[in-house]
Amino acid sequence: MNCSAVRVRISGQVQGVGFRPFVYNLACRLGLRGEVANSPAGVELVIEGDESGLTRFQQLLWDELPPMALIEQLNSEPVPLSYFDSFKILPSAKGEVSITATPDAAVCPDCLAELFNPSDRRYLYPFINCTNCGPRYSLIKALPYDRTNTTMSAFDLCTACLSEYNDPADRRFHAQPNACPDCGPGLSFTDEKGHFVKTGELHDESLIAAATLIRAGKIVAVKGVGGFHLICDARNADAVVRLRQQKQRPDKPFALLGLNTESLNTVVQLDDNRRQRLQAQDAPVLLCPWQKETSLDTENRDLIASGLNWCGVMLPHSPLHFLLLHQLCGRPEASDWLESEQQPLLVMTSANRSGNPLITDNQQALIELRGIADGFLLHNRDIHIRCDDSVVNGLSDSMPIVRRGRGLAPQVIQLPQSGPSVLATGAFFKNTICVTKGDKAYVSQYIGDLDNPDCCHSLSEMVNHLIQLLDVVPQQVVCDQHPDFFSSLFARQFAERHDLPLQSVQHHHAHIAAVMAEHQLSGAVLGLALDGLGLGDCDQLWGGELLRVDGRGTERTGRLSSLLLPGGDKAAAEPWRVAAGMLYQSGQSDEIDKRFHYAGVATVKQMLNQHINCPQTSSAGRLFDGVAALLGLCSINSYEAQAAMQLESAALSYVEQYGWPECEPLLSAGVATDVAADSSTIDSADMTLTELNLATLLTTLSEIEDPLYGAALFHRQFIDGLGCWVFDTVQASGINRVVLAGGCFLNQLLLRGLTEQLELNGIEVFSAGKIPCNDGGISLGQAQVALQLSLPANRQNSNY
């Protein structure tokens, strides 16, 4: 038999995911010999045997990957025979760390089967895991990913667990969180007064106490993988109302937890794609359309997601959640209960006070959630890194990410170029940070809005953690162009402290660059950035921009015409103010009093008449707000983007029932003629502009009795107008690649409609998928711009 040998180098998510034992068992199965070891770049192996076996081996490497493994690159080369007598797993090679921790993963089917097997030694054990599932990123303190560098270092492995840990043939070989009832973490339960309930051998007392409170309509704080959740019975309207009152969250949607897709299908519409996405290892919250007839009554549906025709749903991702549902289902013994429809539906929301970061610490939970939770289901496995639930938009076939969190962070973004390490500090809202290393970007999980001191502290902590975890020394720092954001102030201080160059990137340029980074685009593109607000040139408030972006910078080629914001920032919270400004601009000031009856109406009219505190903006987000208010859908935002979401929901409802209304485009291309009160905001004479015909819009909306029809009509007109504008610009510029970015493209009607229209005209369209299109992706875009510019170390504080 002719034998040969190859050396295989593999990079990607291949450490801490059972990849070496997978290689070991595959080689042994095929009768091959050699050795495998972790390396600074991933995994390296030398393998020898007959040609057919080696070919089969490399094919099965791709076909039979462990669930958590991800191969990004595989290179093989022939080497001389070493005449190995067996296949071995070698200790990890020493050297620079160039990989990151793997994300947390939902409990796998094998562990779930053991969890409910009375003969298994981990029967009903809430912390069961293996190399294919369980906590990872939330536990890790440093790399390399060894137990001593995780919060599991507090628990010494028992003889049985240690034997599994050391056996290459075992599913728990080098599973760092490996544990069992004899050696691992345990549950406890505390009532609202801080009194502990005794924990039994199988944690029954704690689970029973939590389930009893939920059945009674109470609220329980449950410590999960990345932080605490507040949980109550979604079928109990009084419980949901009380949760909203206690958390001071009057309207913002809640997520629902069901045991399986059969249970969730009674409330939301689940096709095969949505079912598959829900059951993925990241186990996200998935936005899905409501069923026309749900197992929830109308009152409960409205309490959970008021004004929306979709709802966020999720499946249990930790053994503890399964055990809690097991209790609520009456502790069924039949083996098929996990697959059959079950009655319990739970509201799951992040355990924090409004605006604060997610709580991860037991003592902090007992203090800060007092008065909200009636009981606390705790455990003593520390969470080192908080991770909110990831959110994915299931209203779109492409299922883009809305919020990156547990199960998705950290996920590497392969960049179109390599360069010096960059620290990017992100935006003000939905903050994330990004650290680059070579040609890879590591975007953090969602941190929060930086109007909260605790979120600002979390940003600082995350910078230190990610830099240490990746063993990176940043060589440049980049931030938003707005000088007063905390993220910008932090970047400035960090750069000064470490004597690093600092640059700032315009907000909408960063939006476009983030999508370019995700799709590894280089060269020139046209970017349409639609969002709420971002600081533009000359201190203008941008939000509806058409930009030409390439590796060296950006040029603003067009924008939406200006809207007035009476009261400035207050208009974002009160969309009726935007609508009042629209009425004023179209010469219909008398309509303001007739349409709106708020205490500040007279003051707003005076501000408009005297041009006091009425900044102008090209924001598409504020346009959506104003239209929602004019249609009577939402005049006051109790959470960010409420008006825009309800406008989209109304349009969706109409389109699903009647199809798109026929209409003329609302926008038309022209030359910028509107002049702001402040001469610094006058547009250049040759800038193309989409003229928003406010008079026509308002006249049309005033004649509409059905707000659903009005919402659909506005969407159709807006999409058609944008399509004409972008197409004209493509023809004029000769650039056929268009990037759609910014928070407005969370609106799937807008994204899908505009994408289809442009693609029908032969235009290549790119949008965000792996990273959020909103400000959660800004840090990636900032880093991408900094890398493309490749500034020398002595050039600092530049704006692009």
Catalytic residues: 20, 38
Vertex 247 angle, CA 243 and 251, to 5°: 80
Vertex 634 angle, CA 630 and 636, to 5°: 110
Q: Coil, strand or helix: which one is 79?
A: strand
Which residues are CB-neighbours of 193 under 8 A, at least 6 positions away? none
| Cβ atoms 302, 253 nearer than 8 A | no
Q: Which helix (H) or strand (E) holds 21?
A: helix 19-29
Alpha-carbon gap, residue 59 to 53, rounded angstroms? 10
Q: Which residue has the tokens 């503890």?
A: 320
Kindly report the backbone phi and psi dihedral angles of residue 19, in degrees, each rounded to the nearest multiple of 5, phi listed first.
-75, -40
Alpha-carbon gap, residue 511 to 782, rounded angstroms? 8
DSSP state of 399: -
| Cβ atoms 634, 544 nearer than 8 A | no
| Cβ atoms 520, 414 nearer than 8 A | yes
| Cβ atoms 772, 401 nearer than 8 A | yes
Q: Coil, strand or helix: which one is 593?
A: helix
Vertex 368 angle, CA 364 and 372, to 5°: 130
Separation in Å, CA 610 to CA 413, 679, 751: 50, 17, 38
What are the counts of helices (DSSP H) followed by strands (DSSP E) for the chain?
A: 24, 31
Residue 793 burial (10 A CB sphere; 0-12, 13-18, 19+): exposed
Residue 269 burial (10 A CB sphere; 0-12, 13-18, 19+): middle
| Cβ atoms 178, 157 nearer than 8 A | yes
- Paired residues of 502 in beta bridges: 477
HSE-up of residue 284 (Cα within 13 Å, Cβ side): 25
- In one-letter notation, the amino acid at residue 139 is L
DSSP state of 254: P
* Number of residues that make up the chain: 800
* DSSP letters spanning 502-532: EEEE-HHHHHHHHHHHHTT--S-EEEEEEEE
Alpha-carbon gap, residue 116 to 655, rounded angstroms? 45
Alpha-carbon gap, residue 629 to 579, rounded angstroms? 6
Helix/strand/coil percent split, the chain, to 5: 35, 25, 40
Q: Which helix (H) or strand (E) holds 35?
A: strand 33-39
| Cβ atoms 566, 580 nearer than 8 A | yes
**Taking the CB of residue 489, how many other CB atoms lie within 10 A of it?**
15
Q: Coil, strand or helix: which one is 253?
A: coil
Alpha-carbon gap, residue 257 to 244, rounded angstroms? 17
Tokens of 388: 């909110």
